[in-house]
Structure 1
Amino acid sequence: MAQPPQKAFPVSWDQFHRDARALAWRLAAAGPFKAIVCITRGGLVPAAIVARELDVRLIETVCVASYHDYRNQGELTVLKGIAESVTGLGAEGEGVLVIDDLTDTGKTAQIVRNMLPKAHFAAIYAKPAGRPVIDTFVTEVSQDTWIYFPWDMGLVYQEPITAGARG
């Protein structure tokens, strides 16, 4: 089993919105895109922002469950595939943009890439193990970092980074 994440990377709503717009900025040159497929649940919010920025109206979801107990990635399960309205657009996903919030191990993206091999894959955040599976990302974090997304957090006290080192 992989080493559990040791570093925390909290992301505020403001930062996430800026990062999603930065992703759209990078993707503008890679388009135009006929449709967006967001990997749920994490890809829903960035897909909405990117769709607005790139003026894409056809948005579809693919539902893949991988984190069954929040911290540990388990067996990947496709809960909902991609609708024919998107898969029928182009040969093997050509002209389709696939969006997720994060590529961690790359396993989820690889499952979707098998469905749409010629689609353009993008994530806001990328870890080294997942980078080879995607085409565009904004911020790389180390493999031992856990990203706390704004929809996962409430307002609570944060320990200083060095507090854990004092023992």
Structure 2
Amino acid sequence: MSDRLPHEKGFHVSWDQLHRDSRALAWRLDGQGPDNGDWKAVVAITRGGMAPAMIVSRELDIRTVDTISVKSYHSGGGKADQRREAQVIKSPDAELMGNGEGILVIDDLVDSGKTLELVRQIYPKAHFATVYAKPQGRPMVDTYITEVSQDTWIFFPWDMALQYVEPYRGKD
């Protein structure tokens, strides 16, 4: 048994890496839309999906970009983040969305799949794409780039600051 806490099995993603992986996601999605390969719009799941959605929309020359805000975590009062039932707190334009056909819904990560499950219920014909996927949530995503283990904590560039980190083994 490991003495490490779950967040200590970390996968650190730099801005450069996120950009490369988001471009790879765009390349994978290119020509896959239902309208002669084109997509109508990109919808980012806030907040983590905003950077990848911007990159995907740029690479695929999709000018219509909207957001959906889903809240599924809350601070545990000093404890690790705790899950709660997901709820939509801001929806994209209803006329644009319809049932989701021709829409790319982008997020940074699918973890448990609860967020994407909720959004998929609302927009069943949308195409769901994430940059990173964990096994538990993978059935909720149509396209992703990199899979990481369920017990890996992904540190995104917007979550990090530059500081000294002790070596994994030893002190020198």
* TM-score normalised over the length of structure 2: 0.86
| In structure 1, C-alpha distance between the alignment counterparts of 2:45 and 2:91, rounded to whole Å | 10
Identical aligned residues as a percent: 59
Please state how far the C-alpha of 1:161 moved relative to its aligned partner.
3.9
- Could you say which residue in structure 1 is the equivalent of 2:128? 121
1:4 deviates by: 4.5
Question: Which entry has the higher C-alpha Rg, 1 or 2?
Answer: 2
How far does residue 29 in structure 1 lie from its aligned partner after superposition?
3.2
Q: Does 1:37 align with 2:47?
A: no
Deviation at 1:85, TM superposition (A): 3.3
Supply the distance in 1 between the matched residues of 2:95 and 2:13 (Cα, whole angstroms).
34
Alignment of 1:54 with 2:44, yes or no, is no
**Distance in 1 (alpha carbons) for counterparts of 2:132 and 2:71:** 18
* Cα pair 1:5 1:143 within 8 Å, conserved: no
TM-score, normalization by structure 1: 0.88
Per-residue CA deviation, residues 108-136 of structure 1 (Å, 9 max, x unaligned), is 00110011101110000000001001100
Deviation at 1:5, TM superposition (A): 4.3
- Residue of structure 1 equivalent to 2:85: 75
Contact 1:106 1:131 in 2 (8 A): yes
SS in 2 for 1:30: coil
How big is the shift at 1:96? Answer: 0.5
1:149 pairs with 2:151: no
Can you list the C-alpha shifts for 1:56-102, whole angstroms capped at 9, x where unaligned? 111111100112127332231211122123223xxx21111000000
Which structure has greater helix proportion?
1
What is the rounded CA distance, in whole Å, between the counterparts of 2:62 and 2:109 in structure 1?
Answer: 21
Alignment partners' CA distance in 2, 1:95 and 1:144: 33
- In the TM superposition, residue 30 of structure 1 has moved relative to its aligned partner by 1.4
Secondary structure of 1:118's counterpart equals: coil
What is the RMSD of the two structures over their aligned residues, measured on CA atoms? 1.8
State the 1:156 CA deviation.
Answer: 1.6
Q: Name the CA distance, whole Å, in 2 between partners of 1:159 and 1:113.
A: 42
User: Which of the numbers 134, 144, 149 marks the counterpart of 2:141?
Assistant: 134
Structure 2 residue ranges without an equivalent (≥5): none
Q: Tell me whether 1:103 sits opposite 2:110 in the alignment.
A: yes
